[in-house]
Structure 1
């Protein structure tokens, strides 16, 4: 995967997701639909279990094995859910990511909370099952790993940005770590969307 010369103004964004999941399909469709000239988005799946530190291990090994494809100004992100991770797991992940300049994009309880934010402001705690049922009120026949999810939600993305940022601010104002088991509900997907929007 050799890098073509003569494209110095183009930044690379590397997105690493857990397994064959909704997140990967969502960002694949975003990459295809947006076609941002100054940003090359590359998406990879760890195909591992749901432990955040396993995802980071995969990402770091990938970076080591493909050194020639990475530049100092590349944007690198790992996207993950709360799942069975503990606060100790999260703290270890934060420390590891910081050492390798990897951004962590977190959703609690799951990425579907980002999807729900497209349809309103929902500050109450969710578990995965109740979250999926709530989404079905707005997206008929919703299923995880829906390849059309990006197209079905993109018209409301501004609303999702506002709602998810507002929730994050509430947690921060109450001294709750965003990447923690206590931050339910929460999603920081807006961070990566904001960066993508800045390149348009």
Structure 2
């Protein structure tokens, strides 16, 4: 290989910036991953420093296992400073296993009760009314229904899980979402009742301030 070609390859290789490296593994293949990719693009974060993956499986344990595998896979050339798994509580049967596995491997869980859509809902309203299964609809389904009502009011359409501009669409409501999520989590901890609540704001603030 010529020296010129070698230099070109080096120039095209993404490089690590001078701030911490973060690995994020999401339960959802669309909603969560698309949201965080939008945040990373908007905040102009390096795709080497902050990486987002979907879990190889849709339950919390599979998400944590994916994070462990991805961390190990990249360990030869990159040592992540922080590893997060974004999961839903909902009705998952592997939730407790996921918590233990994460703790044993130094992974921080970012949990939403009942689901990630509650974080979206916090952009529009503050509510601590619990979501509980009704008929064929799970708590997560009912949370999505509430979100769709607010989304319709704000954007005159239903929320689309595959929408790639979700972060930008919600950007003007971001501070309200963070404040509502903080308030909800304080109440949840005080009452020892986490339905509904979310920790997503902790990760969002972490990423927003990562260069600071």
Which residue is equivalent to 1:184?
195
Under a length normalisation based on structure 2, what TM-score does the superposition of the two structures give?
0.79
Which residue is equivalent to 2:35?
26
How many residues were matched structurally? 187
Contact 1:51–1:84 (CA<8 Å) still a contact in 2? Answer: no
- Asked which structure has the greater RCO (Cα within 8 Å, sep 6+), the reply is 1
Contact 2:90–2:140 (CA<8 Å) still a contact in 1? Answer: no
Q: Distance in 1 between matches of 2:34 and 2:45?
A: 18
Aligned pair in 2 of structure 1 residues 30, 85: CA closer, same or farther (>3 Å)?
A: same
Q: Distance in 1 between matches of 2:37 and 2:182?
A: 23
What are the within-5 Å matches in structure 2 for residues 106-185 of structure 1? 106-126=111-131, 127-139=139-151, 140-174=157-191, 176=192, 183-185=194-196
Q: Name stretches of at least 5 consecutive residues in structure 1 with no aligned partner.
A: 177-181
- Where 1:118 maps in the other structure, the secondary structure is coil
Q: Distance in 2 between matches of 1:18 and 1:198?
A: 24
- Where 2:122 maps in the other structure, the secondary structure is helix
Q: Deviations over 1:41-61 (max 9, x none)?
A: 11111241x321111112112
Contact 2:88–2:113 (CA<8 Å) still a contact in 1? Answer: yes
Under a length normalisation based on structure 1, what TM-score does the superposition of the two structures give?
0.83
4+ long deviations beyond 4 Å: 4-8
Q: Name stretches of at least 5 consecutive residues in structure 2 with no aligned partner.
A: 1-9, 132-138, 152-156
Q: Is 2:87 the counterpart of 1:76?
A: no
Using the TM superposition, give the Cα deviation of residue 8 of structure 1 relative to its aligned residue in structure 2, in angstroms: 7.0
